[in-house]
Amino acid sequence: MKLPVTARIPRLLAPDEVQSILDSCGHLRDRLLFALLHDAGIRVGEALGLRHEDIAVAEREITVRRRDNSNGARAKSPHSRTVPVTAELIRLYADYLDVEYGDLDSDYVFVNLWGRPHGEAMTYAAVHDLVRRLRRQTGIGFDPHWFRHTYATRMLRENVPVEVVSKLLGHASLTTTVKTYAHITSDDARRALADAGWFATRTVTI
């Protein structure tokens, strides 16, 4: 008889690991990329396809759209979605435009500013090289997708309804969100029971 396959629990980043990765970025562009993955939970392909028109500064929102991109980046979902982001991320975006992006004429948010071809949309290969360098610097063997796992798990642990999490992640089915992210550790379970007063109110002496 075949044993059931246990679903792998997604790898997560601790807050100090996220901070270490961000602080190790030598450029605002790179810091913005990973801050965006952490703050919005989007896929790296969705980030690389992001255009300036997709960032609503006043509303503090980004819109992920599926479109043809010159760098081969793509959004997995055919449906557009809007994700709220923090004021800190918007400020970082503004700093990036002012300090590094300058008067470069491009629709893409993430572009080659030091490598070639200059001004062209940043590619998956460029992100791979960047991640490899950051792994060496930080000693953290992370993958960009871990930021998405961390984002989703954080929301679920903070009791954001799974329907909302699913929509923000751009999942086609609620089942995908539940199967992938609705995992809890024993510490999560203990914390939830403690918050509910489970350990404080006992009707039976044991």
Classified as helix, coil or strand, 170 is: coil
CA dist 185 and 183 (Å) reads 7
Reduced DSSP (H G I as helix, E B as strand, rest coil) percent helix, strand, coil of the chain, to 5: 50, 5, 45
Query: E strand or H helix at 198, and its extent?
Result: none
Judge whether 148 counts as a catalytic residue: yes
Count of CB atoms situated within 10 Å of the CB of 96? 21
Residue 201 lies in a domain: no
Say if residue 114 is in the same domain as residue 168: no
What tens digit of pLDDT does each residue of 103-114 get? 999 999 999 998
Question: E-strand spans in the chain?
Answer: 55-56, 61-64, 81-84
Judge whether 27 counts as a catalytic residue: no
DSSP string, 88-119: HHHHHHHHHIIIIITT---SBSSB-SSSSSTT
Say if residue 133 is in the same domain as residue 159: no
Average pLDDT for 69-92: 92
Say if residue 181 is in the same domain as residue 120: no
Judge whether 171 counts as a catalytic residue: yes
In the predicted model, is pLDDT for residue 181 greater than 70?
Answer: no
| Mean per-residue pLDDT of the chain | 86
In the predicted model, is pLDDT for residue 137 greater than 90?
Answer: yes
Burial state string for 169-190 with b = 16 or more CB within 10 A and e = fewer than 16: bbbeeeeebeebbeeeeeeeee
Segment among 3-7, 128-132, 164-168, 171-175 with least mean pLDDT: 3-7
In the predicted model, is pLDDT for residue 167 greater than 50?
Answer: yes
Residue 120 lies in a domain: yes
In the predicted model, is pLDDT for residue 3 greater than 60?
Answer: no
Spatial contact of 10 and 180, defined as CB atoms under 8 Å apart: yes
Q: Which of 76, 128, 179, 190 is catalytic?
A: 76
Say if residue 47 is in the same domain as residue 127: yes
State the pTM of this model.
0.83
Q: Which of 29, 38, 65, 171 is catalytic?
A: 171
pLDDT greater at residue 206 or residue 156: 156
pLDDT (0 to 100) of residue 9: 57
Say if residue 25 is in the same domain as residue 78: yes
Q: Which of 31, 65, 148, 149 is catalytic?
A: 148
What is the phi/psi pair of residue 109, to 5°?
-75, -45
Q: Which of 31, 43, 65, 149 is catalytic?
A: 43
Q: Which of 118, 132, 145, 190 is catalytic?
A: 145
Q: Which of 96, 101, 151, 181 is catalytic?
A: 181
Segment among 27-31, 163-167, 178-182 with least mean pLDDT: 178-182
What tens digit of pLDDT does each residue of 9-66 get? 568 899 999 999 999 999 999 999 999 999 999 999 999 999 999 999 999 999 999 9
Judge whether 51 counts as a catalytic residue: no
Q: Domain range holding 27?
A: 15-142
pLDDT (0 to 100) of residue 106: 95
CA dist 126 and 50 (Å) reads 16
pLDDT (0 to 100) of residue 192: 58
Say if residue 170 is in the same domain as residue 127: no
